[in-house]
């Protein structure tokens, strides 16, 4: 129908990187305060032909940021505050690159926004839970996604000169929304008065100086003369609130080899990806052993492999609408891994591992794919891995053995980590969300901690959708997967987004629910995405002509 | 571009009706229990050519329902429980009529869903706040919107036979979502387990009998032999929880003449509608006088006129993207009206009037139009009317007098009703939402109750966006309105939907935020709305071919 888009030419997009390969960020460490400097290489876009002017970013720039935020947590226990600043004289960051965005498919636009939102939430998670506080030091204009990046930080400093400003010019310039949480953080995090937020978002030039402070858009304005001193002072003050260890050795994160942790099987005819998690085989016995294992500590290695598979499927396999989770291994060992995570929870590295598991399971929740978990003979859905059953839209457990299969019967086992370590975006555990109307069922599940539950027991406790024996299993699962593949992908995405997040709303669910849903709608409308729409005409000098109809 | 749609041929859509003119509902009253019988006239669609089979509904059917729900509150103080049932033997209700939906424009689809959602929320408001409880008595299939209507009731009864069932078959049949709050009410109101909700929503046939009860989809299943007895028993039990008066005389609601209450001026060139509220001239002095005035009691008359103007603009003037609120009158009299509403708040009719004002202001919040309130000399934005300033995206107050204009200077006055009578969908007052980050400002506003605030004071208290004097007023307002009219209508809709509802989320904000936003997106996608999409092909026997790409 249309010419191939740029990213179709360069898939698969790779998410593996490290500071030695960064083209757009510089990471300086060496004490309590780290500095992340954004200095985008205009020629370094993921999309050949797009020029990343004015520190604007595409997915490739954000992949590096996500990597840096992650490495700071694991590799740099000494870092207690991170300063984000620009490496360019004239601009902090101009936000998402519009040329790249306009040329990308609808699905890439949506997934790009989702990934960048997850990165900003990871910054807030580091601040809230890892003792790594973030400071945005804005010199020059911070526009659109540039200001939204700052809004994810704990403290925003703005140079008090005529050229430094913050703005969200998406609406007047591009006819789309600020899509990286800006609107939600304006009203709910920074508590900017809504009519001021409206004025701010309708203005191309944004705000600076006293007004930016008075409207709570930034936390302080600083004269150029004291800029570097003030940054250091604020960073030290933030660092002083941290509980990071003072004499710990970082855990290196080499490139991930997923083979020990999972198998990813793609069935394009059935539009289905199967992720089989391989349970732990060897585990350390004490904290020293955990640190010695480092990135090969099974929970961390598994989370890294799973996280990588998820983002790969999102961007590179959009037509695989179904993800089936399976597992293989010894449930007792999976539980032993959880016991290590629980016993040593106060250790900084174990804490980071648990937090990364939390974020990875949230990434599962946010997959716009139908999720099914199959608990079969020989599987190890115990403790943390059981989250994959509770994250799924449906989960099934096999009753009894299979002819000719001597693997152990399927069981499901809960651990204490299922009851608090991995809250969803709504702030509740997956089990609490599941049993929103059945507090007794939640209590019964908690009493079952540690017991390998048979298929019948797991079903009776409401922990799975259904249990089937050998006679029914293959047929029921096959029919279900075929049926799912026949439904409209869009309606499924909307259905799943609605059913997965019952209960309380948080800033995070508001971002992915209200904000993202509206942005997806706008991305689909001719006023933005049409040939005469604002995204297509941006930079041409021509003004888009809008269909004036309101809904 | 495309052939004119059906509703384009029949605009303007009228929202005025009364039971003598209903074509689709029968309202039976005469005691504590009323019965609303849905018996859709297949030939009675608003859209010539669409046949409303199987008790399916279009906007016209829902306009009658909204009217009935409203009249039951005002005209029937004696009614304490309302039974909704079907007048057809073979079906309860098949939901929204797909032929009408498929032929309607995107804006009509979206507004149809919004209106029907407001009607269902009005049912829940009647139950929660007016002592009028609702019971759905389902015989035959209740599919899609038919089941969603039942889900808005306090109690759902289902005949225990093979042909009576509840279902949400939108996803498998139509590739859209159940759009009338069904998904939200499943998970959050009825607390159906999410994997069961997923199974239910993926099934064309739905659930019946024991499973429907076990999954909490209905509250009870009743054998046909005891059906009518059981309905009466349950209705009496619901009625027993009511605080409605026992010997009151209803307030008739004749057709609204808006002239005494507002002027509606349309400026199509500027894409702007101006609603000028006319303040009260005469007011009763006591409760007997309020009842004697009835529908002409100014707060009620004004609310009815305003509500009518809002729905008219939504459906019949989609290109007017800007609504300007003005007022004319004596602020002291507007405050006197509020004093009556506050003094007599325990009276059932005054309570209904306050609740209707609440719902009308919520309708303002939900306008997908840019809202500006201009507080000019001679205006009467005092108490309840000041909600229009707080509901607006921006509000402005005129400083001082105008040359040649001897009307009193503009003031803004607060009353106790601004601090609790009119919560938004998020459960907070508009002022509390406005001052989410400034509790001191909220307290200062409360201390100003009753004082006519000058422009300077209103601005200093943060109650308006800005104050301009005569020199700047015309130019500033004109530029702002011109600028707004130049922006993308879609991006504005998304922006406003995000900025208006800071703070807590409720089931109501989830419906309009998450659910509606996703549905709007789906309504725009070719898989649903395209020429080969499921809405277009429904009933033809052809199967839609979906683009399998997920986002």
Cα B337–chain centre separation: 24
Please, are residues B444 and B461 in contact by the beta-carbon 8 Å criterion?
yes
Whether residue A191 and residue B513 make contact (CB cut-off 8 A), yes or no, is: no
Average pLDDT (B142-148) is 98
- Residue B260, pLDDT > 50, answer yes
Q: What's the token pair of residue B119?
A: 């009607």
* Run of H or E residues at A158: strand A155-159
Q: Check the CA dihedral A25-A28-A29-A35 and report its sign.
A: negative
Low-confidence ranges of chain A (pLDDT < 50): 1-4, 6, 9
Identify which of A296, A210, A316, A216 has the alpha carbon closest to the alpha carbon of residue A254. A296
Q: Confidence band (pLDDT; 50, 70, 90) for B11?
A: low
pLDDT > 90? residue B511: no
Residue A535 pLDDT: 85
Q: How far is CA A270 from CA A266, A273, B528, in A?
A: 9, 9, 22
SS3 A469: strand
* Rounded Cα distance, A256 and A185, in Å: 33
What is the mean predicted confidence (pLDDT) over B36-49? 93
Alpha-carbon gap, residue B280 to B300, rounded angstroms: 11
Closest CB from B319, B493, B502 relative to A188: B502
d(CA A542, nearest CA chain B) in Å: 14
Distance of CA B453 to the CA centre of its chain: 32
Could you tell me which chain B residue has the CA closest to the CA of A426?
Answer: B505
The whole-angstrom distance between B263's CA and the closest CA on chain A is: 22
DSSP state of B180: T
Chain B residue whose CA is closest to A186: B499
A30: which 2 tokens?
A: 């060496």
Please check whether residue A87 is in contact with residue A28, taking contact to mean a CB–CB distance below 8 angstroms. no
Query: Per the CB < 8 Å rule, is A510 touching B505?
Result: yes
- Nearest-Cα distance to chain A for B110, in Å, is 6
- Provide the residue count of chain B: 551
pLDDT at B516 > cutoff 80: no
Cα–Cα separations (whole angstroms), residue A353 to A157, A295, A342, A541: 31, 10, 11, 50
Q: Determine, for residues B510 and A513 on separate chains, whether the beta-carbon distance falls below 8 Å.
A: yes
Burial (0-12, 13-18, 19+ Cβ within 10 Å), A187: buried
**Taking Cα atoms as reference points, which of B33, B30, B149 lies closest to residue B95?**
B149
Q: To the nearest whole angstrom, how far is the Cα of A480 from the nearest Cα of chain B?
A: 10
Radius of gyration of chain A (CA): 24
Pairwise CA distance, residues A514 & A531, whole Å: 27
Distance from CA of B130 to the nearest CA of A (A): 26
Q: Number of A:B CB contacts under 8 A?
A: 289
Provide the pLDDT for residue A10. Answer: 52
In this prediction, residue A504 carries a pLDDT of 86
Check residues B385 and A505 and name the one with the higher pLDDT: B385
Please list every residue in chain B whose beta carbon sits closer than 8 Å to the beta carbon of residue A503: 187-188
The answer to whether the Cβ–Cβ distance between A513 and B509 falls below 8 Å is no
What pLDDT shows up at residue B545?
A: 85
B465 neighbourhood in chain A, CB within 8 Å: 195-196, 199
Contacting residues of A for B271, CB less than 8 Å apart? 548
**Residues A320, B176: C-beta atoms closer than 8 Å:** no
Q: CB–CB of A8/A106 below 8 Å? A: no
The residue-averaged pLDDT of B472-483 equals 97
Give the pair of three-digit tokens for residue B457: 């004071």
Pick B198's closest partner by Cβ from A183, A499, A520: A499
Candidates B113, B115, B194, partner chain A, best to mutate (most A CBs within 10 A)? B194
Contacts of B527 in chain A (CB under 8 A): 488-491
The pLDDT value given to residue B321:
96
> Smallest Cβ distance to B514: which of A465, A514, A525?
A514
Contact B548 A489 (CB under 8 A): yes
Tell me the average pLDDT across B429-438: 95
Q: Judge: B196–A551 Cβ closer than 8 Å, yes or no.
A: no
DSSP assignment string, B474-531: HHHHHHHHHHHHHS-HHHHHHHHHHHTT-S---HHHHIIIIIHHHHHHHHHSHHHHST
Q: For the ranges A375-384, B59-68, B278-287, B507-516, which has the lowest average pLDDT?
A: B507-516
CB atoms within 10 A of CB B244: 19
Tokens 């849903």 locate to: A517
pLDDT single digits (tens) B87-106? 999 999 999 999 898 888 89
User: Which residues from chain B sit within 8 angstroms of residue A531, using beta carbons?
Assistant: none
What DSSP line would sit under B97-155, residue for residue? -HHHHHHS-HHHHHHHHHHHHHHHHHHHHHHHHSS-EEEEEE-SEEETHHHHHHHTSSE
Between CA B207 and CA B205 the distance in angstroms is: 7
CA distance to partner chain A, nearest, from residue B170 (Å): 9
Give strand pairing partners of B133. B81
Q: Which residues of B touch A517 (CB under 8 A)?
A: 513-514, 517-518, 520-521
Record: contact A528-B490, CB cut-off 8 A: yes
Residue B110 near residue B520, CB atoms below 8 Å: yes
Q: Tell me if B465 and A195 make a contact (CB, 8 A cut-off).
A: yes
The reply to whether residue A177 touches residue B497, judged by beta carbons under 8 angstroms, is no
CB-based contact B502 A321, cutoff 8 Å: no
Q: Cα distance from A546 to chain B (closest Cα, Å)?
A: 6
Cβ separation A528–B110 shorter than 8 A: no
Q: Euclidean distance between the first and final Cα of chain B, in Å?
A: 28
Considering CB atoms only, which of B321, B484, B514 is closest to A497?
B514
Cβ of B548 within 8 Å of Cβ of A271? The answer is yes
Q: Is there a contact between B299 and B357 (Cβ–Cβ < 8 Å)? A: yes
Task: State percent of chain B over pLDDT 90.
Answer: 85
Determine the distance in angstroms separating the CA of B543 from the nearest CA of chain A, rounded to an integer: 10
DSSP string, B151-170: HTSSEEEEE-STT-EEE--H
- Partner-chain contact A183 B491, CB within 8 Å: no
Residues of chain A with Cβ-Cβ distance to B502 below 8 Å are: 187-188, 191, 194
Whether A436 and B191 lie within 8 Å, measured CB to CB: yes
Of A495, A505, A547, the CB nearest to B510: A505
A77 by DSSP, 3-state: which?
coil
Considering only the beta carbons, identify the residue of B198, B321, B491 that sits closest to A175. B491
Total-model pTM: 0.95
The torsion angles phi and psi of B372, rounded to 5 degrees, stand at: -130, 135
Is A172's CB within 8 Å of B487's CB? yes
Contact yes or no for A194 and B493 at CB 8 A: no
> What is the rounded distance in angstroms from the CA atom of residue A549 to the CA atom of residue B489?
7
pLDDT at B10: 52
Residues of B in contact with A319 (CB under 8 A): 548-550
Mode of pairing for the β-strands spanning A262-267 and A272-278:
antiparallel
Tokens of B346: 């325990």
Q: What is the pLDDT of residues B520-532, one digit of tens each?
A: 888 888 888 888 8
Asked if the peptide bond before residue A413 counts as cis, ω within 30 degrees of 0, the response is no
Is residue A248 a contact partner of residue A349, using CB atoms and an 8 Å limit? Answer: yes
- Closest Cβ–Cβ partner in B110, B392, B522 for A494: B522
Neighbours of A404 (CB within 10 A): 5
Name the closest residue on chain A to residue B550, using Cα atoms.
A318
State chain B's mean pLDDT as an integer: 94
What kind and span of H or E run contains A474? helix A470-486
Q: Give me the half-sphere count of Cα atoms (radius 13 Å) on the Cβ side of residue A312.
A: 16
């Amino acid at each position: 129908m249309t010419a191939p888009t740029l990213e179709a030419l360069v898939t698969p997009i790779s998410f593996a990187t490290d500071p030695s390969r960064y083209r757009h960020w510089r990471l300086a460490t060496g004490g309590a305060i780290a500095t992340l400097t954004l200095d985008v290489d205009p020629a370094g876009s993921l999309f050949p032909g797009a020029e990343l002017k004015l520190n604007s970013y595409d997915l490739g720039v954000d992949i590096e940021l996500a990597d840096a935020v992650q490495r700071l947590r694991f590799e740099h226990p000494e870092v207690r505050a991170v300063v984000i600043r620009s490496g360019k004289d004239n601009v902090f960051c101009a936000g998402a690159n519009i040329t790249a965005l306009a040329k990308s498919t609808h699905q890439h636009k949506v997934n790009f926004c989702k990934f960048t939102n997850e990165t900003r939430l990871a910054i807030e998670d580091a601040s809230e839970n890892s003792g790594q506080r973030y400071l945005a030091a804005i010199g020059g204009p911070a526009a659109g996604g540039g200001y939204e990046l700052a809004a994810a930080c704990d403290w925003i400093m703005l140079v008090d000169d005529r050229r430094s400003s913050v703005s969200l010019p998406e609406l007047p310039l591009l006819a789309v929304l600020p899509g990286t949480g800006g609107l939600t953080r304006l009203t709910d995090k920074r508590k900017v008065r809504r009519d001021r937020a409206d004025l701010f978002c309708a203005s191309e030039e944004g705000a600076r100086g006293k007004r930016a402070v008075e409207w709570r858009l930034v936390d302080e304005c600083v004269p150029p003369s004291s800029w570097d001193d003030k940054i250091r002072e604020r960073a030290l003050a933030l660092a002083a609130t941290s509980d990071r260890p003072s004499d710990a050795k970082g855990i290196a994160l080499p490139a991930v080899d997923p083979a020990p942790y999972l198998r990813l099987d793609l069935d394009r005819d059935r539009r289905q990806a199967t992720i089989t998690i391989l349970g732990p085989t060897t585990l350390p016995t004490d904290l020293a052993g955990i640190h010695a294992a480092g990135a090969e500590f099974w929970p961390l290695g598994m989370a890294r492999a799973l996280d990588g598979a998820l983002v790969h499927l999102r961007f590179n396999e959009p037509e695989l609408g179904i993800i089936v989770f399976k597992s293989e291994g010894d449930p007792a060992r999976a539980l032993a891994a959880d016991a290590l995570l629980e016993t040593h929870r106060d250790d900084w590295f174990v804490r980071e591992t648990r937090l990364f598991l939390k974020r990875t399971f949230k990434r599962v929740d946010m997959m716009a794919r139908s999720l099914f978990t199959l608990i079969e003979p020989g599987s190890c859905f115990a403790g943390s891995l059981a989250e994959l059953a509770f994250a799924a839209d449906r989960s099934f457990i096999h009753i009894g053995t299979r002819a000719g299969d001597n693997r152990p019967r399927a069981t499901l086992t809960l651990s204490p980590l299922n009851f608090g370590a991995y809250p969803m975006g709504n702030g509740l555990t997956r089990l609490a969300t599941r049993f929103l109307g059945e507090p007794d069922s939640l209590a019964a599940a908690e009493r079952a901690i540690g017991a390998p539950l048979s298929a019948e027991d797991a079903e009776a406790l409401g922990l799975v959708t259904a249990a089937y024996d050998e006679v029914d299993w293959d047929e029921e699962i096959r029919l279900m997967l075929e049926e799912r593949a026949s439904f409209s992908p869009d309606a499924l995405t909307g259905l799943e987004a609605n059913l997965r997040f019952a209960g309380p709303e948080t800033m995070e669910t508001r971002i992915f629910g209200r904000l993202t849903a509206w942005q997806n709608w706008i991305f689909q409308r001719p006023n933005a995405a049409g040939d005469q729409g604002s995204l297509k005409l941006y930079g041409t000098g021509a003004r888009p002509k809008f269909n004036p109809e309101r809904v």
